[in-house]
Structure 1
């Protein structure tokens, strides 16, 4: 099939499914977080049991600092529990002969999965037992995604409400409902579809086979389908097998590839409808969705153009940029997956990002550096773009002399400061981490693609380090695989980037939600800047691009841009 036709069919199918699910799923999620059903029936019985066991009053409201304290307390307990589980897995059932995970890897992995990053500096088949995978990592795939959705919903409540005490909901209720009513049912359906395509589900350690060359080998097995579904639906990304979604046991067919891409985009896209429904103006959600779609389409077009050419001697001889890509997906399926996984906080891969052309690799890197808001991670994409919308309204108000208000709430110094701090966290982590790792290379263990300054090896090596810290600080988890990150420096520094990159923005967003909730609503007047329509969408898009361009252009010029121009 012609590559252009194949690409068009891939995109059309994904867009069609997302369009069909947009209204019902978005409105359903709004009902989940806004209704107060009878806890004695249906799902309510399970929820009621959870609340009783946790000594939680589901009808109690929390201020932003109470909500934030619950988020941090739950996440800290999750990190400690997951770390302990990894260290003791050799003493647990179904250990398959695997000993406890080393302290450095266990530390990095615990933070990685709790922060929804799922950065993996280990080989899953030879490191994690089925118990650790199912009881530890898979559980965090659910609850870390539910935390992101809860924070986004708390921000929306802050915008909608007018409460003297600034209450923005109950974290424990939001966490429970997001997990039980949204993530579990959808993950179950997606797992069944993946099983129908040949994705495996087994607790055996593996099986022996003989290859075509006559040599024997052992193929690892794992409970893949159940974890693959939530890995993608929750924009987590950590593979049960080392090759991730390039492995035929995780992603065996072009149909399963399309299903996985849809799973990645489904909730982030539908949350824009949830936002519009909860604020009582669905045009708000459509405007946000339009900006996300425009940025996504631009990144997809740029990456597709870069990967469809034949640049370099090897690519010209082969006739295509297929090095590092699965032939069953081809360039269209690989590029669409790469842009989807870096435009969200997923990080799953069905091709080697390190094997992409300099321009293609730079595009997926830029996709993360935009802040992963096109459409972004589960919850984190929505609250990320809403913070940028606050900044856009403030800038627009300054430019035209209009009152800086966002959906009936004034943008005072406190709100703008919190929004600015939210946006500045990620660049500070990325640029500082990259600079230290490269400058102190003999200490940090950065030895990949070494070479004299200005040579292709040195330039690509810099790009690999920049990609690693961009991935960690944005809670993405994908990597340029040429960089070895097993040194103590990278395990610790990337772990801290994941930690701060996740929870500092959450704290600032929840503080912003509390500040909004404590304000009175102001009716829109002649001086209010409209936050719907093409004009505001253009302003918001320009704000996103301008922030990323001003912040990261020098670093990109030293890496992917310089490599592409050579």
Structure 2
């Protein structure tokens, strides 16, 4: 470990904290439906969308109706993308003449991008046309991110409103977030990427001569526009198979830093937005503090392990940190930091090969996903996932002081606790159940490249990434088979919408409650004690649930490495 490495980590943390308030203020304006400076230009476009869809943006929706409209919209997008991928071979903007995607692959990809997972079993530059990349996938990068923020807004209203029957309007929330936040931000972001060397063209490739004198075709395409929303919307799906390790997606140290910041920007801003929505910004800062504490712990472990390197290689005379699978232009610190950022935020973009990390260094991204990616998390999904743990934490605190739990002025009763437990239990049931199934069936065992603990980790990581809607791959797993395409597609759908529905139910239940003023007997939810309790509940629940699987995978792999064995 070096001073430069820690300086980068601390600088990144400070910049995230600095972005939280200005980003949160813009999000809060959209949450309240206020007029922004962009309304002068875009308000007619917004009204046109509403007229075209027959939508009254001022009509409030009960949580059931809000959720129903959300699910129908997602199913329509799923069917649309599936059709685009299947018909790719006969659709325009296909300069390389690529054939349509098979049924299981199209299903997996359509579910993946609908659910904000962006898991890719294919090599983007070799499998998808420009039309499929732009119309089939990039559109989801915007709308899946907007859907996550819309659900977060609905939950915020549940906490903020008193004796109300509604939680907002899904169509208005989704439209405003897309039109006034994601689209303009990504236009500016894409221009920055283009200026930094990221291509943006409809050409299929450029032919060049290598240093050896051979001819090489280098794939091109509309990369910058997809890269911008890929990062800002915590989507992660890369135009190229190498993702953000590819110089056309992430060419410089500056773009690497900006990409990491953009992954965290909206998630951090939503914590401040939540505090503002409930009338106490200290609530938002407390949540962000707990998130960043968990983030620094994970980053410290990953950086320590990667900087320490592999003792087996040290004995062979190859001293130094673990540079296997990492870009030399980024180095160990930036690669370890990126791996924690992308898995803490359900982005899934990678600038290094996680399969090449040390056992414990690679375990950190795995744990981030198993905890539900609540450490900043995906746009919207991170904050509403974290608030589920907050409800459980305040329930535990209520048991300690012997009174009904309260959080930001709302009594937390049996219904909210049951729904929170239901939503939190979805991920471990899906991850562990499908991993166990894949670890015993011949079709599942045919996937891992490695045997033993490392091969088990490859399977475990895939389902943690799918169910957690992350999308990053540990690599080493041949996932482009009907078996894994099907199971991972199911995991992604369950991990997204089997959590969203209970969250909306909690929003509706809280909105109907009266406001309960804090008293001297109320448990404080803004100070160090509360932050510590939040961290403890998250780690204890995650540890009790996933420690056995981690012991079979990365922990056993680490013990073998220390003993001088390599997988």
Range that drifts further, 407-416 or 464-473: 407-416
- What's the counterpart of residue 376 of structure 1? 377
Kindly report which structure 2 residues correspond to 1:272-351, keeping only aligned pairs within 5 A, or say none: 272-314=271-313, 317=318, 319-351=320-352
Distance 1:318 1:218, change over 3 A: farther
- What's the counterpart of residue 454 of structure 1? none
Matches of 1:123 and 1:237 in 2, distance apart?
14
Matches of 2:443 and 2:138 in 1, distance apart?
34
Query: Aligned to 1:540, which of 534, 537, 541?
Result: 534
Q: Give the Å deviation of 1:16.
A: 4.1
Matches of 1:239 and 1:564 in 2, distance apart?
30
- What's the counterpart of residue 410 of structure 1? 411
SS in structure 2 at match of 1:439: coil
- 8 A contact 2:307–2:320 mirrored in 1: no
Per-residue deviation, residues 336-357 of structure 1 (Å, max 9, x unmatched): 1100000011000000000000
- What's the counterpart of residue 197 of structure 1? 196
Q: Give the Å deviation of 1:106.
A: 0.6
Matches of 1:392 and 1:500 in 2, distance apart?
24
Unaligned runs of 5+ in 2: 561-567
Count residues with an aligned counterpart: 556
Matches of 1:173 and 1:384 in 2, distance apart?
22
Q: Give the Å deviation of 1:102.
A: 1.1
Matches of 1:36 and 1:334 in 2, distance apart?
40
Per-residue deviation, residues 30-88 of structure 1 (Å, max 9, x unmatched): 01110354998542211100000011011000000000001101100000000001111
- What's the counterpart of residue 107 of structure 1? 107
- 8 A contact 1:292–1:373 mirrored in 2: yes
SS in structure 1 at match of 2:367: helix
- What's the counterpart of residue 29 of structure 2? 31
- 8 A contact 1:269–1:375 mirrored in 2: yes
Distance 1:217 1:41, change over 3 A: closer
Q: Is 1:222–2:229 an aligned residue pair?
A: no
Per-residue deviation, residues 530-553 of structure 1 (Å, max 9, x unmatched): 211101111111000000000000
Matches of 1:350 and 1:36 in 2, distance apart?
38
Kindly report which structure 2 residues correspond to 1:25-174, keeping only aligned pairs within 5 A, or say none: 25-37=23-35, 41-96=40-95, 97-164=97-164, 166-174=165-173
Range that drifts further, 171-180 or 314-323: 314-323
- 8 A contact 1:445–1:489 mirrored in 2: no
Range that drifts further, 87-96 or 246-255: 87-96
Matches of 2:47 and 2:518 in 1, distance apart?
41
Q: Is 1:392–2:386 an aligned residue pair?
A: no
- 8 A contact 2:447–2:479 mirrored in 1: no
Q: Give the Å deviation of 1:259.
A: 0.8
Kindly report which structure 2 residues correspond to 1:170-185, keeping only aligned pairs within 5 A, or say none: 170-185=169-184
TM-score of the pair, normalised by structure 2: 0.96
Matches of 2:419 and 2:21 in 1, distance apart?
32
Unaligned runs of 5+ in 1: 451-456
- 8 A contact 1:287–1:533 mirrored in 2: yes
Per-residue deviation, residues 354-404 of structure 1 (Å, max 9, x unmatched): 000001011111111121111111000000011100000001111221321
- What's the counterpart of residue 446 of structure 1? 446
Per-residue deviation, residues 93-143 of structure 1 (Å, max 9, x unmatched): 211211111111110000000100000001111111101111121110001
Q: Give the Å deviation of 1:203.
A: 1.0
Distance 1:112 1:41, change over 3 A: same
- What's the counterpart of residue 508 of structure 2? 514
- What's the counterpart of residue 564 of structure 2? none
